[in-house]
Amino acid sequence: MLHLRIIAPADRTQEVTTLLRGTVGTTHLVVLEGAARDPAGDVVMCDVAREAGDDLLAGLREMGLPEHGAVAVEDIDLSLSTRAEQAEAQAPGEGVDAVLWESLTEATHEESRLTLTYLTFLTVATMLAACGVISDSAVLIVGAMVVGPEFGPLAGVCTGIVRRAPRLLWRSAVAVLVGFPVAMLLTGAFCVLMDALGLFEYADFVKPHPMTDFIWKPDPLSFVVALLAGVAGIVSLTSAKSGALVGVAISVTTVPAAANAALALSYGNLAETGGSFLQLLVNLAGIVLAGTLTLLGQKLFWAYKRRPLTVRS
């Protein structure tokens, strides 16, 4: 269940409550007349089944509530209420499968900015992966994958395409297209410094790396893995399953491929640089393609499931 707290201008409260009462899956309606001070108006609260939330939020946005009032949404961790159970049963579909497009857009909006924090995480992750390549350490490679923040802007690209939001699409694409080159450039300088200090050695780079060779040798399986990761990543975002998102981060070699490209270039190994860069492109393309198709599939599915949501009398 979701809890909605709405500040509505007094002249729109009746319209708001009519929408809430007419939406299948809502319950626990409360109206506090004149309770809001900034902005002034009435406070309206209700609980709604997650699978009914997206249409309800869209209706509130059409009323102009974000501009003339406010709408706040919270997840309810525990609700001991027979009415809530009935509301969930009446709403078609399952809450865990529901997509809250407003929430998804907001989440990707925050995660897709080209910020100093984003660049720091991406650069540190790439440097960690470079250390993992030199030492042939799968532990460091996995750690770098977890630290890498790149799935946020990739999800933003997918969301921007499906929702036809050019600003989100552009901002997310910039984060990817600028973030990776900056991280690779700084990692290349880091590798040169580590080599000068004697902590990295060319002999360690060229010797066999059975644990990490996969990050610069793209093959059809690499694209398949990226497709699967794109599906899992988008579903984890839309269902708020953060644990699954960590698994997605570990499964795709975007950051390690970028690190190996920077490391190989610092040693003048153009063949391995090209292979690593191709691996990076394959993974990015696979994630975006699968993520976009997954969102389109979810959009079509819920367009069908939600047809009866506003027929309650």
pLDDT tens-digit series, residues 92-120: 766 666 777 777 777 777 678 899 999 99
Quote the pLDDT of residue 20. 92
Whole-number average pLDDT of the chain? 86
Between 306 and 272, the more confident residue is: 272
> Is cis: bond before 39, omega within 30 of 0?
yes
Measured CA distances, 128 to 28, 164, 187, 201, 245 (Å): 50, 36, 9, 16, 20
- What was the pLDDT predicted at 242? 55
Q: What is the 3-state secondary structure (H, E, C) of 155-169?
A: HHHHHHHHCCCHHHH
Strand partners, 8: 42
pLDDT above 90 coverage of the chain, percent: 45
**DSSP assignment of 113-124:** ---HHHHHHHHH
Whether pTM exceeds 0.85: no
**pLDDT greater than 60 at residue 307:** no
The pLDDT of 175-191, averaged and rounded, is: 95
- Please tell me the predicted confidence (pLDDT) of residue 309: 47
Domain ranges of the chain: 2-96, 103-302
Cα 117 versus chain centre, distance: 16
Q: Which residues of 137-174 are buried (b: 16+ CB within 10 A; e: fewer)?
A: beebbbbbbebbbbbbbbbbbbbbbbbebeebbebbbe
Per-residue pLDDT for 89 more than 90? no
Range of 38-42, 53-57, 218-222 with top mean pLDDT: 38-42
pLDDT digits (tens, 9 = 90+) for 242-265: 555 555 666 677 899 999 999 999
Encoded tokens for 79: 């609700």
**For a pLDDT cut of 70, what percent of the chain falls above it?**
89
CB-CB neighbours of 111 under 10 Å: 20
Intra-chain end-to-end CA distance of the chain, in Å: 21
CATH class of 2-96: alpha beta
* Structure confidence by residue, pLDDT tens digits, 202-228: 888 888 877 777 777 778 888 998 899
Phi, psi of 2 (to 5 degrees): -115, 145
Q: Tell me what pLDDT residue 243 has.
A: 53
* 240: Cβ contacts below 8 Å, ≥ 6 apart: 75
Query: What tens digit of pLDDT does each residue of 59-78 get?
Result: 898 898 989 999 999 988 88
Query: In this predicted model, which residue has the larger pLDDT, 143 or 216?
Result: 143
